[in-house]
Structure 1
Amino acid sequence: MDIHAKQSLSQKQTLSHAQVQSLNVLAMTGDELERFLQRELEDNPLLEPPEYTDSSFSEPFSLSGHGAPSEAPEHGDIPLPDRPSLRDHLLSQLNERSMSSAEWGCMQFLIDSLSAQGFLDVSTQEVSQLLHLHPEQVSRCMARLRSLEPPGIGAHDIGDCLFLQLERLGLGNTAFDTLLHSYLEDLAAGRFSKITQEAGISKLVQRRCLEAVRHLDPHPAAAFTGGQTQYIVPDLVCSYTDGEWNIHINDRWMGSVGISTLYDRLLRSDDRPEVKAYYAERLAQAKFVLTCIEKRRATLTEIASRVVVWQSDYLLYGKPLKTLTFHQLAAAMGVHESTVSRGVRDKYIQTPRKTLPLRDLFTVSLDAEQGISQAQAMQALRKLIEEEDKHTPLSDQALMERLKAEGIPLARRTIAKYRESLGIPSAAQRKR
């Protein structure tokens, strides 16, 4: 490899590392961001909170300005947890020396990508592209994460989490794998005959599976969220005034964190080579952290601004959600879908009507071309049933045909599922 190729590879890896760190900061909740910033403040003397920043020496690299208006609401201090965080607990089980720098970086990325429940919702391919690693390397890191304590950590969903725990107990088998990954809802609802008919698994095996998972933990990260009552602190606050939406990022508690001009002056004036090297490294890290946080503010503001405008009818009047997927929003913003996914993950937004997960303002698109969402389909289903002849109510088959005629093609099984979700009984039970 010639020198130019080496430089190109080095630059690519550097950019990848910066991109990964920026995405990690974007994915943080307000609480996680505060802890992250506290660690950086303790580790880097060039970073200081506003009460120690002396602006009389030089111009500080500040976070004040757009994205954190003075009128944004405050939520006060968030106490740091006494117990170790899930991240610290998982990292303590790994031996950095036994891994390459790429593997260690990948493990940190995966751990930072875990949801509040301890699940991993990023694919091997996505991580491979972001970190410029071979998919096999990523798969090995994912497998290592799934081997850590608590059991079930790093699973894709609840079914996968339960099966991981059964495997730890030596109870994993093909039948249980199928039941937990493909029929978890049916199993929990006791639809044994349906499972037997479709999967060929006996009712006895199904009951054994239920008994086996009864004492397992479906949320492996729950022990690290604290035992006291948890209060939801919104990451974003939106208000509607004079026909316009206003978005505030709820991080004003950080203040104008900036570069410590005192340490900046002291270290800059020291001519010793080792001090100059240390100064350059710490200054670059401090500026990078502040840049990541500023990018987080800008990205969250754009995501929330676009979402609340698109879902205005829902937020203001309680009308059905319009179709909006991560893919659609990412395309509109000109970013990768993972950027939207991380910006939305575990974030709460305070709206004029209620505080809710930002993810709840997105929908499952049933027809991307026509823009039909699950919420719209359920609304149309409810309307058909409300307007039906009560003496001859519509069967699920008839409802399916009516909806299809309206441009909403749904399977009869889906009709039944939506009807049950709406709390509407079957046609026979609705008949007067």
Structure 2
Amino acid sequence: MLVEVSLHLQHKLETKLSLTPYVKQSLEILKYSLEELEHIIREEANANPLIELIEPNSEHLLEMARVPNSQASNYESDALFDPLLHIPQQDSSIEPYLMEQLAVQRRLTKSEREIVLYLIRNLNESGYLDCDMEETAERFRVPIEKCDELISLLQSFEPAGIGARSLRECLQLQAARDGNAPKHTEALILRHLEDLAQGDFQFVADLYGVPKREIENAFSYIKQLNPRPLMAVQSARQELIIPDIIVEEFNGEHIISINDMYLPQISINPHYEELLRITDCGETGTYLKTKLSDAILLMRGIEQRHETLYKVTESILKKQRAFFQKGTKALVPLRLKEIADHVGLHESTVSRTISNKYIRTPKGIFALKTFFIRGVKMHNGEVESPLLIKEKIKAIIDSEDRNKPLSDQKIANLLLAEGIPIARRTVAKYREELSIPQSARRTKK
């Protein structure tokens, strides 16, 4: 049997999304904080003879706001403020340390690895997870249960307590991994930290039907757990927060400026520029052209970073105007997608823009992430701010019968009756953030 084989050419049109070197460079530079960018510029200058650096004016640097991370009093204090957001970026040795543990997880799919890597990159310096799970699920188009599963995987890494979303969870993860932890330790962490902190050992002992000494021993154990797990694997250091954006008030208007005073200015070395005009061919000419192209890409990338940062900041502040009158208490629910749609950028680009960036305002210095709050969708379709819901929870507790205080579930039911669908665990979370003890503790008082 003979089979006839023929060869022929066929034209086919395809549309492919391709990133130019300029776009790739711009996206890479966009994610850097001010200090990281300064380091990158100096590295490039060392490797590229065409780049000359003009050092920043030292007098300007002295005027620039640089806030030690220990001076919490410099920040506005209210229920929304989270000091973990204001800790400087983590040491670069942390990510590889966790990546080594991720590499041995052989059964993960490519998309699962990408999600875990995303979670690792959203750990703050203390080791707490600093990202919204619903937004993460939407970003990677997976069920939220899958995100919870991968968070549990991350929480199994070393050091114990990594990937926790609260102090309670951090301590509970450490106790759960210790086979020698005293009996009832996890339950005490999750339900009775306030009681233990106030020394009500007999009250807790009566609840569990155990001797008071047993509760005291458990509390001694809890106190030696590490509330900041990543501190165990990185050297302690005093760092300064340098704001990437500065907002100043002038005649009732808020003026945004990108802080580039800290950065050395880039220029092209005139000697090599002249040599390039003379030597237009050969290996030397090719080398000089390549280095010139690299220098121009770097300068354009920095310029693009500044433009994008300005546009995104301007959009954020337009959405959060009340912040300048009342501070963080007046922040309204805001998501990355709203800003992305408003400025015409991809959501991932906005995420890069706000990552590890700080803004100096008349109200203090804040991480840009501070301005993004996930609201609760009401039955009428409106989105309610968590701050207002906290006020409602506080008002309900303030008016309750002291002899019969309301459980978190009953508070959730009352809010549901007002058209606010909220889970019991969310009520518990908000109550704890308000420093209000649970119902058993309120009964005792």
Q: TM-score range by the shorter chain?
A: 0.5 to 0.7
Whole-Å separation in 1 of the counterparts to 2:138 and 2:296: 31
Does residue 164 in structure 1 map to residue 160 in structure 2?
no
Whole-Å separation in 2 of the counterparts to 1:251 and 1:357: 17
Displacement after TM superposition at 1:221 (Å): 10
Where 1:379 maps in the other structure, the secondary structure is: helix
The residue that corresponds to 2:388 in the other structure is 376
The residue that corresponds to 1:143 in the other structure is none
Aligned partner letter, 1:243: G
Alpha carbons of structure 1 residues 422 and 120: separation in structure 2 relative to 1, 3 Å: closer
Displacement after TM superposition at 1:351 (Å): 1.7
Match of 1:324 among 312, 334, 346: 334
Whole-Å separation in 2 of the counterparts to 1:388 and 1:186: 31
The residue that corresponds to 1:219 in the other structure is 230
Aligned partner letter, 1:402: L
Aligned partner letter, 1:21: Q
Match of 1:350 among 347, 354, 360: 360
Match of 1:292 among 281, 298, 301: 301
Match of 2:267 among 254, 258, 263: 258
Aligned partner letter, 1:418: Y
Whole-Å separation in 1 of the counterparts to 2:432 and 2:227: 28
Does residue 22 in structure 1 map to residue 21 in structure 2?
no
Where 1:240 maps in the other structure, the secondary structure is: strand
- The higher radius of gyration belongs to 2
Whole-Å separation in 1 of the counterparts to 2:400 and 2:315: 38
Superposed, 1:82-93 pairs within 5 Å as 86=93
Whole-Å separation in 1 of the counterparts to 2:10 and 2:371: 50
Greater mean deviation of Cα atoms: 323-332 or 408-417: 408-417
Where 2:430 maps in the other structure, the secondary structure is: helix
Superposed, 1:392-431 pairs within 5 Å as 394-427=406-439, 429-430=441-442
Q: Residue deviations 1:191-245, cap 9 Å, x none?
A: 44999xxxxxxxxxxx9xx99x97998438963xx64311222222212232322
Displacement after TM superposition at 1:367 (Å): 2.1
Q: Residue deviations 1:404-432, cap 9 Å, x none?
A: 24332112232122112211234565468
User: Which residues of structure 2 form unaligned runs of 5+?
Assistant: 1-7, 67-90, 101-113, 141-149, 176-184, 191-217
Whole-Å separation in 2 of the counterparts to 1:88 and 1:397: 39
Greater mean deviation of Cα atoms: 288-297 or 304-313: 304-313
| Matched residue count | 336
Whole-Å separation in 1 of the counterparts to 2:356 and 2:411: 36
* 8 A contact 1:72–1:252 mirrored in 2: no
Where 1:408 maps in the other structure, the secondary structure is: coil
Alpha carbons of structure 1 residues 264 and 222: separation in structure 2 relative to 1, 3 Å: farther
Where 2:248 maps in the other structure, the secondary structure is: strand
Q: Given the two structures, how large is their TM-score scaled by the length of structure 2?
A: 0.60
Displacement after TM superposition at 1:124 (Å): 12
Aligned partner letter, 1:47: I
* 8 A contact 2:376–2:386 mirrored in 1: yes
Displacement after TM superposition at 1:262 (Å): 3.2
Does residue 365 in structure 1 map to residue 375 in structure 2?
yes
Q: Given the two structures, how large is their TM-score scaled by the length of structure 1?
A: 0.62
Whole-Å separation in 2 of the counterparts to 1:399 and 1:87: 41
Where 1:247 maps in the other structure, the secondary structure is: strand
Q: Residue deviations 1:355-402, cap 9 Å, x none?
A: 121111111232295222333322332244345566765553443233
Alpha carbons of structure 1 residues 185 and 217: separation in structure 2 relative to 1, 3 Å: closer
Where 1:187 maps in the other structure, the secondary structure is: helix
Aligned partner letter, 1:231: L
Where 1:254 maps in the other structure, the secondary structure is: coil
Alpha carbons of structure 1 residues 161 and 404: separation in structure 2 relative to 1, 3 Å: closer
The residue that corresponds to 1:66 in the other structure is none
The residue that corresponds to 2:316 in the other structure is 307
Aligned partner letter, 2:427: I
* 8 A contact 2:94–2:233 mirrored in 1: no
Does residue 32 in structure 1 map to residue 36 in structure 2?
yes
The residue that corresponds to 2:258 in the other structure is 249
Superposed, 1:155-194 pairs within 5 Å as 160-165=153-158, 184=169, 187-188=172-173, 190-192=185-187
Alpha carbons of structure 1 residues 125 and 370: separation in structure 2 relative to 1, 3 Å: closer
Where 1:165 maps in the other structure, the secondary structure is: coil
Alpha carbons of structure 1 residues 352 and 342: separation in structure 2 relative to 1, 3 Å: same
Alpha carbons of structure 1 residues 403 and 391: separation in structure 2 relative to 1, 3 Å: same
Alpha carbons of structure 1 residues 165 and 415: separation in structure 2 relative to 1, 3 Å: closer
* 8 A contact 2:51–2:295 mirrored in 1: yes
Displacement after TM superposition at 1:254 (Å): 2.3
* 8 A contact 1:321–1:376 mirrored in 2: no
Aligned partner letter, 1:308: L
Displacement after TM superposition at 1:7 (Å): 11
Whole-Å separation in 2 of the counterparts to 1:429 and 1:411: 21
User: Which residues of structure 1 form unaligned runs of 5+?
Assistant: 53-69, 77-83, 94-106, 128-155, 168-175, 196-206
* 8 A contact 1:236–1:349 mirrored in 2: yes
